[in-house]
Amino acid sequence: MQEHTHTLTSILNSIFTHKDNQVKKRLIYNKSFLGGIHSRWIKLLFAVLPFAMYGAIFNPTSFEALGIAQAIVFYIILLVMAMQIVIGISYFNNRNVIKSAIKSWEYYFPSVDFKMILSSGVTPYVDFKKYYEEALKESLDEDALHKRLIENFRQMEKENPVLIEAIQREKKKQEEKNNDTNNTKK
């Protein structure tokens, strides 16, 4: 079986916040639980970025060379670039957290797609946060949480048999398509 490196609690804490047993999905995932940089540092970078650009453009030397009109235009252009940087850093951070967490997630729940837990669309596991909140209320340890979530996943799958069946059909079609592609290459 595949080696896992992260605990179930650290995986869930990197993706979700919980306060007063209320679970919310993080906008910027926290990689510190998985051995990376804390999301607070990323947020701090985002907060400092506009002020650093302001200081770079509106300092006496630059401002004198540019003039007021060009300085304002450059500042607006740099803010647009800063927004793109924010989106890019957030995207790559979240992607790396998911990539790190998936390997360990598959150890705990091999039949449950981790990305379906994170999806805001219609999935069989749309009630995951509700069940996770219930488990948090009981302050379960790692093993008890794992067992509880296994039961909850089974319950969610029983409640959504049509979605499970559709997912299995889609996986089967994808596998057949991949096999056909591999056979034609040989």
pLDDT at 4 over 80: no
Q: For the segment 109-147, what is each residue's pLDDT rounded down to a tens digit?
A: 988 889 888 887 788 888 888 888 888 888 888 899 999
Domain residue ranges of the chain, discontinuous segments joined by +: 1-108, 111-186
Instruction: Give the per-residue pLDDT at 20.
Output: 82
Instruction: Give the per-residue pLDDT at 171.
Output: 82
pLDDT at 69 over 90: yes
Q: How far apart are CA 87 and CA 177, in angstroms?
A: 34
Instruction: Give the per-residue pLDDT at 185.
Output: 64
Q: How far apart are CA 148 and CA 142, in angstroms?
A: 10
Convert 84-101 to b/e letters by CB count within 10 Å (16 or more is b).
eebeeebeebbeebbebb
pLDDT at 53 over 80: yes
Per-residue pLDDT, averaged over 29-57, amounts to 88
**Do 12 and 101 meet the contact criterion of CB atoms below 8 Å apart?**
no
**Do 80 and 87 meet the contact criterion of CB atoms below 8 Å apart?**
no
Tokens 């999935």 map to which residue?
123
Per-residue pLDDT, averaged over 171-183, amounts to 77
pLDDT at 1 over 60: no
Q: For the segment 85-107, what is each residue's pLDDT rounded down to a tens digit?
A: 989 999 999 999 999 899 889 89
Convert 47-59 to b/e letters by CB count within 10 Å (16 or more is b).
eebeeebeeebee
Percent over 90 (pLDDT), the chain? 27
Tokens found for residue 34: 């998985």
